[in-house]
Chains A and B, each alone.
Chain A
Amino acid sequence: MRRSIPLSIVLATALATVAAPIRAQPGAATSPDVEPEAIAALERMGNYLRTLKSFRITTQTSTDEVLDNGMKVTFSGVTDLLAQAPNHLRADVTSDRQQRLYLYDGKAFTLFARRVNYYATVPAPPTIGELADRLEDKYGMEIPLVDLFRWGGPRASTAQPTVATDIGPSAVDGTTCEHYAFRQPGLDWQIWIQLGDHPLPRKLVITTLTDEARPQHTSVYSWDLAPSFDDGAFTFDPPPDAHQIVFAEGARP
């Protein structure tokens, strides 16, 4: 028998250097709708992610927005993220609406908006996980693919899944995966985890339930587990015509 462990604990964080204690919580996942095998699959994935010293992910994203008349429109994007545990991150986000470069070198965090040529820099905490917390708490900002850095850590969702189920085998970009579906307050989500010795997330679909239009966000991940880079990749060298601005505190636009 597997222990009953809540989602917030079992999903291991890729780069959380402060290891989150694995705690058994009696009473969690006792519902027949919560399959222990589905929870265990997340645990395996999280543990594996935590072993990665560095990785590069190219992510194709698709995000719905709901117009006031109830119509959904879908925006596309690409996120190119390079991470080195525990304290280096570079993310290039290009979507229909935004081009943003996120840079973190263990000391400072910079957000650079290419089109408008603005950047802002703030001192940063010593790990990616703490950076994610700081940005969210203070500036209302998520780092790209934040789930990869949050799963399993203390800041994972406090919500336990009310449904966790194994849907079955499924191929993502030709790679055989196992497809799981979860429900927690406010959202449904699905994850495709690669089968074999490298249980990587290959696809994520999140459905927002708090809007009757049920907008979705989809990410499809391509992994490079042996990326080449140098330290300069994480340091911001502002273009000569770029202008420094500030982060609005507490803002979530």
Chain B
Amino acid sequence: MTRTIRVAVASGLALALAGGTALARVNTSRTTASTSVNRNYNRNTNVNVNRNVNVNVNRDVDVHVHGGYYGPGYYGGCCYHPVATAAAVTATAMVTAAVIGSIVHTLPPSCTTVIVNGITYQQCGSTWYQPQFAGTTTTYIVVNAPR
């Protein structure tokens, strides 16, 4: 239930920070209230799979512009693209390529849905993402170009 995500700041993000153009905010939240009484606390659940998230470029939100702590669609995926976020992501993408295997919660703008061999991808410039449900949350894994 803890949502803190370890983030390795990409060089592009670091540059954006150095330029003072954006405020980095990497952790949306740390805990969500339990929604079920019957969560079994004693079971050995493997919860580490997606914890070592590499780079989440869309965390680079100017909180003044975007209106605070909501963040760009931590859950929803596609549909929260504040202008500040888009600008930051674009700048980042120009500097550094996304790391294969890293997982993001939102996509940069201007992606195209592409189906290759029956598998759904999002192509965003030269970077390819494969969407998946992690729990009920849509996340995107950076993958090698499928073709």
Contacts and interface: CB of A to CB of B under 8 A. Distances in A.
Interface string B128-141: 00111111111100
B130 to A, nearest CB: 8
A207 B6 CA distance: 26
Nearest to A189: B37
Contact of A141 (B41, B77, B135, B139): B135
Interface string A111-141: 1010110101000000000000000010111
Q: Is the interface of B mostly helix, strand, loop or mixed?
A: loop
A213 interface: yes
Contacts of A100: 136
A65 interface: yes
A251 B76 contact: no
Contacts of B94: none
Given A67-B29, A248-B134, A204 B50 contact: no
A206 interface: yes
A98 interface: yes
Contact of A64 (B33, B46, B77, B132): B33
A245 B132 contact: yes
B73 interface: yes
A188 to B, nearest CB: 10
A239 interface: no
B23 interface: no
A252 B41 contact: no
A245 B76 contact: no
Interface in B68-90: 69, 73-79
Given A63-B32, A68-B27, A245 B38 contact: no
A245 B32 CA distance: 26
B117 interface: no
Nearest to B137: A253
Given A64-B32, A65-B32, A156-B38, A248 B45 contact: no
A215 B69 contact: no
B25 to A, nearest CB: 8
Contact of A251 (B34, B50, B73, B79): B50
A115 B38 contact: no
A111 B120 contact: no
A147 interface: yes
B41 A116 contact: no
Given A68-B27, A98-B76, A245-B131, A253 B33 contact: no
A211 B34 CA distance: 11
B18 interface: no
Contacts of A249: 49
3 smallest CB-CB distances across A and B, nearest first, come from A97-B75, A215-B33, A251-B134
25 contacts: A64-B33, A65-B28, A68-B29, A113-B77, A116-B78, A116-B131, A118-B77, A140-B47, A141-B133, A141-B136, A146-B38, A147-B37, A151-B37, A156-B38, A157-B39, A159-B42, A187-B34, A243-B115, A244-B120, A246-B132, A248-B134, A251-B133, A252-B47, A252-B134, A253-B50
Given A206-B33, A215-B33, 7 more contacts: A63-B35, A73-B69, A147-B37, A184-B37, A208-B31, A248-B132, A248-B134
